């Protein structure tokens, strides 16, 4: 299948998914379901492209497993920790306050923008899926190893944060144990490493350098837009001085030893 046809098929799939999730959000009042759709949509695109790309079978299986396991694990985690049985996250409540009017339509545009972002981020999936080379290269196997390490790190960070939040005594406080002792956002760091692994996996394929767009975009959004800035603004609103002290001692992104103040 051509690149154009694969892009169109994938784009329609995630656009429909996001539209359905937008309808659900209208009934539940919880826009955080878009995060579930973002991760799940990328998992779907990885598997879809692996099936349609016509590349080497072993490479396609590796791609489907890597994208599917990562995407669906993260989607399920986000669904259980941000949507089902939970009030809407402060970030989305703040968007409602900022937008003021025509909020449902603005959220529709926001949801569908996430669908477009999924298609752009899935470029390394498409590139690797079309690679018919019979041998899996050393770089590709290195990418698989990096993916395993990064998924393990992200999963550990998510479990540590989830366990911290389960204790009622921790309500209103900041998790500073485990990986969260070394980074204020270890989940974002390992998420970026996962995208580096996807880009490396595609790099030996024809046009593989296009896959580097994805980790570059992820890093930009995490550091400058919807990741750390929005999350920390909400943390300061809800946890105040405790979080400011955490900012003074702990690395924002890359895990590292705490600083003395």
What is residue 39's predicted lDDT score, i.e. its pLDDT? 96
- Record the tokens describing residue 251, joined without a space: 């690395």
What is residue 90's predicted lDDT score, i.e. its pLDDT? 83
What is residue 221's predicted lDDT score, i.e. its pLDDT? 92
pLDDT in single tens digits along all 261 residues of the chain: 888 899 999 999 999 999 999 999 999 999 999 999 999 999 999 999 999 999 999 999 999 999 999 999 999 999 999 999 999 988 899 889 999 899 999 999 999 999 999 999 999 999 999 999 999 999 999 999 999 999 999 999 999 999 999 999 998 899 999 999 999 999 999 999 999 999 999 999 999 999 999 999 999 999 988 889 988 988 998 899 999 999 999 999 999 999 886
CA proximity to 259, closest of 168, 184, 175 = 184
CA-to-CA separations, 147 to 158, 201, 229, in angstroms, rounded: 16, 9, 26
What is residue 261's predicted lDDT score, i.e. its pLDDT? 65
Q: Please list, in sequence order, all residues whose beta carbon lies within 8 angstroms of the beta carbon of residue 144, skipping any fewer than 6 positions away.
A: 62, 66, 197, 201
- Assign 177 to helix, strand or coil: coil
CA proximity to 161, closest of 78, 256, 72 = 78
Burial code (b: 16+ CB inside 10 Å, e: under 16) for 135-161 equals ebeeebeebbebbeebbebbbebbebb
pLDDT tens digits, one per residue of 164-177: 999 999 988 999 99
Q: Please list, in sequence order, all residues whose beta carbon lies within 8 angstroms of the beta carbon of residue 138, skipping any fewer than 6 positions away.
A: none
Q: What angle do CA 73, 199, 216 make, to 5 degrees?
A: 95
> What gap in Å lies between CA 205 and CA 185, rounded to an integer?
32
- Record the tokens describing residue 4, joined without a space: 């154009």
Q: How far apart are the first and last CA of the chain?
A: 58
């Amino acid at each position: 299948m051509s690149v154009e046809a694969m892009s169109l098929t994938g784009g329609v799939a995630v656009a429909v998914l996001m539209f359905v999730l937008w309808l659900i959000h209208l009934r539940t009042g919880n826009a955080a379901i878009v995060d579930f759709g973002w991760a799940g949509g990328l998992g779907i695109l990885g598997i879809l492209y692996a099936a349609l790309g016509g590349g080497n079978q072993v490479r396609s299986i590796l791609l489907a497993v890597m994208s599917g396991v990562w995407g669906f694990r993260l989607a399920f985690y986000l669904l259980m920790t941000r949507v089902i049985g939970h009030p809407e996250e402060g970030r989305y409540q703040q968007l409602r306050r900022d937008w003021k009017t025509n909020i449902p339509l603005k959220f529709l545009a926001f949801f569908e923008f996430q669908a477009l972002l999924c298609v752009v981020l899935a470029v390394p999936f498409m590139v690797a899926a079309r690679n018919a080379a019979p041998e899996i290269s050393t770089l590709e196997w290195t990418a698989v190893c990096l993916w395993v390490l990064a998924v393990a790190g992200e999963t550990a960070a998510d479990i540590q944060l989830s366990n911290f939040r389960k204790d009622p005594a921790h309500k209103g406080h900041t998790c500073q144990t485990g990986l969260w002792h070394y980074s204020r956002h270890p989940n974002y760091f390992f998420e970026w490493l996962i995208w580096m692994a996807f880009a490396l996996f595609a790099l030996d394929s024809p046009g593989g350098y296009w896959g580097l767009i994805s980790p570059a975009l992820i890093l930009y959004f995490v550091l400058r837009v919807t990741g750390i800035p929005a999350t920390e603004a909400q943390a300061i609103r809800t946890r105040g001085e405790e979080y400011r002290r955490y900012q003074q001692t702990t690395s924002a992104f890359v895990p590292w030893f705490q600083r003395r103040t």
